[in-house]
Amino acid sequence: MNSTYIAALELAAGAVLVSAVMTLWRRSVRSIVSMLSLQGMALSVVAIVLALHEHEGALFVTGCLVFVVKGLVVPGLLRRVSRLDPRSRESRPLVNVPASLVFAAVLIVLSYVVSSRITGLSPSDATHLVPVGIATVLVGYFMLVTRRRAVSKIVGLILVDNGIALVTFLLTSGVPLIVELGSSLDVLLVVVVLQFLMVSMRHHSDTDRLTEMKGLRD
């Protein structure tokens, strides 16, 4: 029982990090969004596995909520946004794809080195996986900084949020339900606002590259 718990936890946490790296790897916005959906589902599996192991009803509810919001609703909304431009690709990121993958590898090693101090405070099966969450946060920031398209930037933001959620699940067995509810709705709101913003950006300037919005217009 204990070994299956550890195996399931490791596999789900690994899937969160792998899907974060995959969002840097893929170019088409559609597959980036489906990687994000995969990550949301893996995150919810982490929460549900922890909840089943520690018999915490609230965490189980949180896990189901994460599955619905981050696994289905947010990616669904992003898909609708990207459907405005069906051939949308992250064509020219500020750092090219091979370099950003190597940089992601550096970030992953960095997060492992940094967080060994934190995990040393209270070693357990769950806290060992904290580096995975921190690495997801760093990869999310990297994506936020280096990608040009609005959709990619919002994906980076959600990666950061997912990483933070993973760390809280692993370290504290989840924050109170109301806080998780608040942060999930926050992300949802950001995505909805982005959707309006993108529609109006496209209406005004026919692009969603944020770098091209330098001047003001009447």
Partner 1 sequence: MSATTTTLYGVAATLVQVVLLGLGGPLLVGVMAKVKARAEGRVGAPVVQPLRDLRKLLTKERLHARHASVVLPLAPMVILASTVVAGAISPLVSTHPLLGSSADILVIVYLLLTGSAAAALAGLDAGTAFGGMGSSRAMTIGALAEPALLVAVIALSIQSGTSNLPSIMSSTLTHPDWVFGPSRLLALGALLIVVIAETGRIPVDNPATHLELTMVHEAMILEYAGPELALFSLGEAMRLGLLFSLVANLFLPWGIMTDHTLLSLLLGTVALVAKTLLVALGVALIEVRSAKLRLFRLPELLAGGFVLSVLAVVTGLVTR
- Applying CB under 8 A, the residues found at the interface with partner 1 are 3, 6-7, 10-11, 13-15, 17-18, 21, 25, 97-99, 101-102, 104-105, 108-109, 112, 128-129, 131-132, 135
d(CA 3, CA 137) in angstroms, rounded, equals 28
Q: How far is the CB of 171 from partner 1 (least distance, A)?
A: 14
Biggest alpha carbon distance in the chain? 65
d(CA 141, CA 94) in angstroms, rounded, equals 14
Burial zone of 52 (CB within 10 Å; 0-12 exposed, 13-18 middle, 19+ buried): middle
For partner 1, the closer of residues 69 and 104 by Cβ is 104
For partner 1, the closer of residues 109 and 192 by Cβ is 109
d(CA 133, CA 209) in angstroms, rounded, equals 29
Q: How far is the CB of 17 from partner 1 (least distance, A)?
A: 6
d(CA 145, CA 115) in angstroms, rounded, equals 23
For partner 1, the closer of residues 105 and 145 by Cβ is 105
Q: How far is the CB of 77 from partner 1 (least distance, A)?
A: 28
d(CA 90, CA 101) in angstroms, rounded, equals 15
Q: How far is the CB of 28 from partner 1 (least distance, A)?
A: 13
For partner 1, the closer of residues 143 and 201 by Cβ is 143
Q: How far is the CB of 64 from partner 1 (least distance, A)?
A: 24
Burial zone of 123 (CB within 10 Å; 0-12 exposed, 13-18 middle, 19+ buried): exposed
For partner 1, the closer of residues 93 and 194 by Cβ is 93
